[in-house]
Structure 1
Amino acid sequence: MRNFKFCLFILAIWLCGPVAMAQHFNIHNPIKLPAKSQKAMIMQRIGYTDITISYHSPAARGREVWGKMIPYGKVWRAGANENTIFTITDDVIIEGETLAAGSYGLHLLPEKDQWTFIFSKNHTSWGSYFYDAQEDALRVTVPVEDTNEYSEWVSFDFNKRDRGEATIVLGWADKKATFGLSLDIDKIALENIRLQLRSDAYWEWFSWCQAADYCAEYGINTEEALEWVEKSIALQENFSNLDVKAKLLKQAGQETEAEKTIARAIEVGNHIYLERYGRRFLNKKDFEHAEYLFGEALKKDKTYWRAHFNRGNALKGMGKSKEAQKAFSMALNYAPEGAKAQIRNSMEAN
């Protein structure tokens, strides 16, 4: 009897052994199964700066979330599974505090009336199980809001996306909280532009013109931008870089030089550039200046229908109906078939 039981024991080991061994040796090569808490990622670019949040999004599934499933006063991973990771490619300011470029484990310390977002230097650990306050790079505390719509899934979003700033909201169930983020977009942009101008862009007139025009558009870095546009003009003088130079000179308060420069731009510009330039004044309802520029465009090419058409619009704005009709008629004469209906509508409305 004892031998019989021993034989059964040996048989069991023999039958189970391969399974046990397979389980042991295959543990290093598990298959990947669909995650219950789906992986999500959200990214926003502000200027040259990328802001990315990578997280797993658990569902409420009928459970009471805040104060129950997610206890108050205890650090939570702001998602599910491994760390929620917050990555920025440049230094930013979050709620008035600077956070250096890099990747951070994003955790949340929820309370009933406020939430504290924690940016940890450790972004490689699993969830918040290994969270250590000594690794904090930044903590910001913001008020909690009740939501109008119930959110089944944890979600991050960018609610405000302006030049140089954004707001990031974390919402789940019936609560949400938002923190503000900003950056020195002009400083970062100029650093990037300067580096690009030291590459192949150095030999292109358009690159220097682009760089200068960016400064003109936002009213920044005028002195250096004037140097950039002069390099563009030295490579190839044209309407575009002279136009940018004129804008920068006005920005610098050099009105007389700006007028001389724009006169030169009109002299060298072709009919297409002059018509486009005229439209700027047409949109501002500066009809006299616009009409003059459309006339200059037609001196370069009397068959350019757009210049005739917009000259008609400028004349109409000046109250010169008969002259406007003549201009529209000329536009109708030279325009392609697809544009004639638009011209006829303007003629009828004149």
Structure 2
Amino acid sequence: MKDFLFRIPVLLLSLFVMEANAQHFNIHNSITLPDKSQQSTVVQRIGYTDITISYHSPGTRGREVWGSLVPYGKVWRAGANENTLFTITHDVKIEGKELSAGTYGLHLLPEKDQWTFIFSKNHTSWGSYFYDEQEDAIRVTVPVEDAPEPRDWLSFDFHKRERGQASVLLSWGDKRAGFDLSLAIDDIALDHIRKQLRSDAYWEWFSWCQAADYCATYKINTKEAIQWVERSIELRENFSNWDVKAKLLRQSGDEKGAQQAMNRAIEVGSDIYLERYGRRLLREKNFEQAEYVFGKALEKNKTYWRAHFNRGNALQAMNNKKAALKAFETALKYAPEGRKEQVKQSIASL
């Protein structure tokens, strides 16, 4: 009995400790509050490649930043709170240095006249507190410059963008610096195109034509692109794929073959496509060929007012005012009410 009575205080003490521990545990079930340095994400796509920078953006709040709030000569997390993340979906070059696809911790080593951007293979640690130089993927050092105007909140921006490259700019306070990024956009694009042509796109004439036209536009991969457009023609010949074939043959130096392809495009093309092609020739100032193509469009549809109208423009450019007037008058006859004034102005210009 005494042992039992002795155990009662011990048991009560144990229950009290358990309850206290439970209360202590509950204290750590904290609520989420807005960050003082709010999270930001910037994303830029170049071709098929996505470049994403995720960071927390601190404010100056009247403080001196460089050399004070952010000390010189010490690795810094290029933001606030967690790791600043730099993610790329394809291999790129940063200032000419290779960086494989993946996610990296982005750090900064600032000096007075230059900043070093550090891409770390470790992107899961907190900030730069656990930064280890041995985990660097690459480092690039760039000059720092005065910002055109002070930036209260730290920001990453894609400062300039071109077809296969961009520059990333870090701005905060009165300073900024950035790095250039480039990628093999054509190799990446062709790899994606080839994979897509092995999917449902295989049975669509338009898919093969699209792929070939991409190559024609950027003057790449001409030999294979000709095979692609020939596949498109096999599925369904039309103005578009013969037009693309003509472009590719011309790029390969086969002018005779290009002209034959263009003749076939005109032969099979609809009035609408021929009128569009005629306008393209007008922009190229090839007025005689444009007038011929508009005439071919009118053979397919003699009431197509826009073909009459633009044929008149071609004839006027050739200084054949009499024929141009006739073409404009015919265009006026068939033009919808909303377009008649435009035609009248052309007649008046003669």
Shorter-chain TM-score range: over 0.9
Distance in 2 (CA, whole Å) between partners of 1:18 and 1:35 is 33
Q: Which residues of structure 1 form unaligned runs of 5+?
A: 1-9
Distance in 1 (CA, whole Å) between partners of 2:69 and 2:338 is 64
Tell me which residue corresponds to 1:227.
227
In the TM superposition, structure 1's runs of 4+ consecutive aligned residues that sit over 6 Å from their partners are 16-20
Tell me which residue corresponds to 1:131.
131
Paired residue secondary structure (1:112):
coil
Distance in 2 (CA, whole Å) between partners of 1:149 and 1:96 is 29
TM-score normalised by L of structure 2? 0.93
Matches of residues 105-144 of structure 1 in structure 2 within 5 Å?
105-144=105-144
Tell me which residue corresponds to 1:202.
202
Write the letter of the residue equivalent to 1:160: K
Distance in 2 (CA, whole Å) between partners of 1:344 and 1:82 is 67
Cα RMSD of the aligned pairs, angstroms, is 1.8
Tell me which residue corresponds to 1:24.
25
Distance in 2 (CA, whole Å) between partners of 1:23 and 1:255 is 84
Deviation of 1:147 after TM superposition, in Å, equals: 1.0
The one-character-per-residue Cα deviations of 1:61-117 (angstroms, maximum 9, x if unpaired) are 000000000000000101101011000000001101010000000000000000000
Tell me which residue corresponds to 1:46.
46
Q: Structure 1 stretch 208-217 or stretch 336-345: which is displaced more?
A: 336-345
TM-score normalised by L of structure 1? 0.93
Tell me which residue corresponds to 2:6.
none
Tell me which residue corresponds to 1:280.
280
Tell me which residue corresponds to 2:173.
173
Distance in 2 (CA, whole Å) between partners of 1:295 and 1:83 is 66
Tell me which residue corresponds to 2:259.
259
Distance in 1 (CA, whole Å) between partners of 2:31 and 2:332 is 70
Tell me which residue corresponds to 2:55.
55
Q: Structure 1 stretch 288-297 or stretch 110-119: which is displaced more?
A: 288-297
Write the letter of the residue equivalent to 1:39: Q
Distance in 1 (CA, whole Å) between partners of 2:300 and 2:209 is 24
Paired residue secondary structure (1:67):
coil
The one-character-per-residue Cα deviations of 1:131-189 (angstroms, maximum 9, x if unpaired) are 11111001000000001201000000011110101011000000000110000100000
Tell me which residue corresponds to 1:4.
none
Tell me which residue corresponds to 1:6.
none
Deviation of 1:23 after TM superposition, in Å, equals: 4.1
Deviation of 1:334 after TM superposition, in Å, equals: 1.2
Are 2:311 and 1:308 aligned?
A: no
Deviation of 1:348 after TM superposition, in Å, equals: 2.2
Q: Which residues of structure 2 form unaligned runs of 5+?
A: 1-11
Aligned length: 338
Deviation of 1:328 after TM superposition, in Å, equals: 1.4
Deviation of 1:345 after TM superposition, in Å, equals: 2.2
Distance in 2 (CA, whole Å) between partners of 1:333 and 1:30 is 77
Matches of residues 210-221 of structure 1 in structure 2 within 5 Å?
210-221=210-221
Q: 1:22 to 1:327 in 2, by over 3 A?
A: farther
Tell me which residue corresponds to 2:293.
293
Deviation of 1:330 after TM superposition, in Å, equals: 1.4
Are 2:341 and 1:341 aligned?
A: yes
Distance in 2 (CA, whole Å) between partners of 1:58 and 1:19 is 38
